[in-house]
């Protein structure tokens, strides 16, 4: 099998994440925290972009998937860790911790993607605003469910989650998320997602099973949201249901809209910039949210197609050239 | 005009479609043979597009049966019917506007893909070979229809006539046995209409398929169809060769009014 550009990107990204992690001792703790948040937000934004951007199914439930991943992964490392670590090679071994964490993250992703099937179901019948409201409700339901599960800490949430998240896991999964979405979309199979976004009736007429595509988008998007949630839980060590409400979903949707729906590079840049901006604006206290909202309004008025959409240049140029065959 | 059963590709029997109190199509019998070019005409609101939507699974008939290659397609989903070999174009063009001309056709090839989601992720040599083959086939098709120069252009920025042609190309990419064209001449000037007629004949010949053509323009329909069926108020009032249809008093009445008959 000959490696392609995508394979090289994936391998390079993973090696880069590993090297970056080795250097993390030299990074100031505050910045390390922000950089990790950036990575997690990139995972969330890029995965939501598959659902909202490429497939055009406006979901407001990403925080719900994130919560499921966070709680699942945290429960595995907290409650399962003491039993599993000795089996994997002892709690002192970095390898054992790594394996436990990987298992916990992937399990969180899988449980979240099962929830993705459940939410994807109604999306077969609903479009636009209606779907947005259903997914919004889903996110809130998840939050309420976790608030009422006493064994998972109820309203107080889980505390003392081991701090396993580091730059390798965060950026490693970031690279995997980006690769997955790009590899999918850049294939004949994956163009079907965009076809569903553009015109469902025409897509069906071309033999595309739109239902299947929508559920697939939800399952993959939810999987990586779950991973992002797991990373988040093991980054801040304490999670509670209030951290995964509607506002969190909106924040991720904003990354996608500002980056440009269905534009992975733009969405990544938006996630990076906005995460840093939010931290930066922390200095001005209460004015922060005001500033943030103001910026959003200005950006939406001036660049409704997203901050980073530059593809149109090619279109104009080639459209002006007459056919010469 | 009867045909041997073995030659029949699509067969509608006593097909009725009611929307509440309105009967859009009433007990319609229609047969389309292999490699046949049939026209379906009728005044506005006669039920032509409803017939299309019945055949392509957008609507389910209230009564009656629809058989394609001797198997019932009633109750099948639209994508499934396309899989079985019926492709269509739309009265009001429905391309994928944000995809390029190339990708519009490429998407339609997905029915014949061996590789799916997992292959797209692994990107092994088999996947890459298939993608290359599809690329070549797409370009081949685009070249036949003189759209290859616009391959990278977003579909929505194509001129109107090209969009109509692209829609036909996209339908052909699903490799249909039956192609349904819904008013392809709408909005075209006389020169474009002549080109369109040549194009449809060429497609029928080259791709060895049957065509069901819904069209308002009599010149186009009479010029290329082997057989014409006439709908009025959901009922078939006549069927025959273009010559027979042209002098059928019922048809003249429906189209021109009694006084002119």
Read off the pLDDT of residues B88-126 as tens digits, 9 standing for 90 and up.
Answer: 999 889 999 989 999 999 999 988 887 788 888 888 888
- Average pLDDT in chain B: 87
Q: In what order do the strands lie in the sheet with B37-41?
A: B86-88, B178-182, B210-214, B37-41, B227-232, B235-240
Least CA distance to A319: which residue of chain B? B153
Say whether pLDDT at B259 is over 60.
Answer: no
Least CA distance to A213: which residue of chain B? B117
Chain A neighbours among B 152-211 (CB < 8 Å)?
152-154, 157-158, 170-171, 174
DSSP secondary structure string for all residues of B5-53: GGGEEEEEEEEEEEETTEEEEEEEEEEEETT-EEEEE-STTSSHHHHHH
Least CA distance to A179: which residue of chain B? B121
SS3 (DSSP) at A239: strand
- How many angstroms separate the CA of residue B87 from the nearest CA in chain A? 7
Q: Where in chain B is the domain with CATH 3.40.50.300?
A: 1-85+176-261
Domains and CATH numbers, chain A: 5-310 (1.10.3470)
- How many angstroms separate the CA of residue B57 from the nearest CA in chain A? 9
Q: Match domain B1-85+176-261 to its CATH number in 3.40.50.170, 3.30.830.10, 3.40.50.300, 3.40.190.10.
A: 3.40.50.300
Burial B40-62 (b: 16+ CB within 10 A, else e): bbbeeebbbbbbbbbbbbbbebe
A202/B153 Cβ within 8 A: no
Per-residue pLDDT of chain A (325 residues; tens, 9 = 90+): 566 788 888 999 999 999 988 888 888 888 899 999 999 999 999 999 999 999 998 889 999 999 999 999 999 999 888 888 877 777 677 888 899 999 999 999 999 999 999 887 776 678 778 888 888 999 999 999 999 998 888 888 899 899 999 999 999 999 999 999 999 999 999 999 999 999 999 999 999 999 899 999 999 999 999 999 999 999 999 999 988 988 889 889 989 988 888 889 999 999 999 899 888 887 777 777 787 788 778 877 887 777 776 554 333 333 333 333 3
Quote the pTM value: 0.88
SS3 (DSSP) at B183: coil
B120/A190 Cβ within 8 A: yes
B31-46 per-position pLDDT tens digit: 999 999 999 988 888 8
C-alpha atoms less than 13 angstroms from C-alpha of B38 in its C-beta half-sphere: 25
Could you tell me if the ipTM is greater than 0.95?
no
Q: How many CB atoms lie within 10 A of CB B67?
A: 16
Among A55, A206, A211, most B C-beta atoms within 10 A, so best to mutate, is A206
Length of chain B: 261
Q: How many CB atoms lie within 10 A of CB A105?
A: 27
SS3 (DSSP) at A117: helix
């Amino acid at each position: 099998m000959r490696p392609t550009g995508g394979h090289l990107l994936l391998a390079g990204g993973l090696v880069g994440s590993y090297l970056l992690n080795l250097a993390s001792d030299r990074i100031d703790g505050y910045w390390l925290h922000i950089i990790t948040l950036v990575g997690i937000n990139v995972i969330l934004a890029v995965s939501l972009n598959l659902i909202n951007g490429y497939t055009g199914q406006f979901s407001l439930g990403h925080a719900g998937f994130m919560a499921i991943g966070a709680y699942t992964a945290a429960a595995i490392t907290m409650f399962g860790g003491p039993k599993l670590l000795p089996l994997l090679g002892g709690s002192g071994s970095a390898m054992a911790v790594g394996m436990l964490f990987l298992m916990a993250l992937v399990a969180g992703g899988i449980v979240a993607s099962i929830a993705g099937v459940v939410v994807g179901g109604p999306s077969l019948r609903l479009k636009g605003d209606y779907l947005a409201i259903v997914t919004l409700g889903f996110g809130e339901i998840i939050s309420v469910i976790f608030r009422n599960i006493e064994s998972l800490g109820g309203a107080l949430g889980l505390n003392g989650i081991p701090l396993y998240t580091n730059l390798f896991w965060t950026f490693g999964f970031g690279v995997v998320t980006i690769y997955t979405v790009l590899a999918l979309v850049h294939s004949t199979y994956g163009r079907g997602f965009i076809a569903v976004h553009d015109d469902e009736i025409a897509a069906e007429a071309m033999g595309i099973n739109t239902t299947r595509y929508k559920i697939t988008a939800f399952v993959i998007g939810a999987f990586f949201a779950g991973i992002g949630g797991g990373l988040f839980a093991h980054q801040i060590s304490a999670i509670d249901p209030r951290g995964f409400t509607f506002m969190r979903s909106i924040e991720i949707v904003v990354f996608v809209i500002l980056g440009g729906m269905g534009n992975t590079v733009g969405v990544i840049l938006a996630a990076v910039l906005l995460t840093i901006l939010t931290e930066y604006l922390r200095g001005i206290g209460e004015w922060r949210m005001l500033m943030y909202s103001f910026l959003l309004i200005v950006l939406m008025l001036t660049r409704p197609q997203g901050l980073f959409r530059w593809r149109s240049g090619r279109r104009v140029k080639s459209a002006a050239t007459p056919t010469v065959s | 005009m009867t045909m041997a059963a073995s030659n029949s590709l699509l067969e509608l029997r006593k097909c009725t479609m009611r929307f509440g109190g309105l009967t859009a199509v009433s007990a319609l019998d229609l047969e389309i043979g292999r490699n046949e070019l049939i026209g379906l005409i009728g005044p506005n609101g006669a039920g032509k597009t409803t017939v299309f939507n019945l055949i392509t699974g957008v609507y389910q008939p209230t009564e009656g049966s629809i058989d394609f290659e001797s198997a019932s397609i009633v109750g099948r989903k639209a994508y499934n019917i396309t899989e079985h070999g019926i492709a269509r174009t739309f009265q009001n063009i429905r391309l994928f506007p944000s995809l390029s001309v190339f990708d519009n056709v490429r998407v339609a090839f997905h029915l014949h893909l061996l590789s799916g989601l997992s292959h797209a992720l692994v990107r092994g040599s088999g996947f890459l070979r298939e993608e290359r083959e599809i690329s070549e086939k797409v370009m081949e098709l685009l070249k036949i229809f003189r759209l290859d120069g616009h391959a990278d252009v977003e579909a929505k920025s194509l001129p109107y006539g090209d969009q109509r042609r692209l829609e036909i190309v996209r339908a052909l990419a699903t490799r249909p046995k039956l192609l349904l064209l819904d008013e392809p001449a709408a909005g075209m000037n006389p020169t474009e209409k002549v080109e369109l007629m040549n194009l449809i004949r060429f497609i029928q010949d080259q791709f060895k398929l049957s065509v069901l053509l819904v069209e308002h323009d009599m010149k186009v329909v009479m010029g290329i169809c082997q057989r014409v069926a006439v709908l009025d108020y959901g009922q078939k009032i006549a069927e025959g060769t273009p010559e027979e249809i042209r002098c059928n008093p019922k048809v003249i009445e429906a189209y021109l009014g009694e006084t002119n008959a």
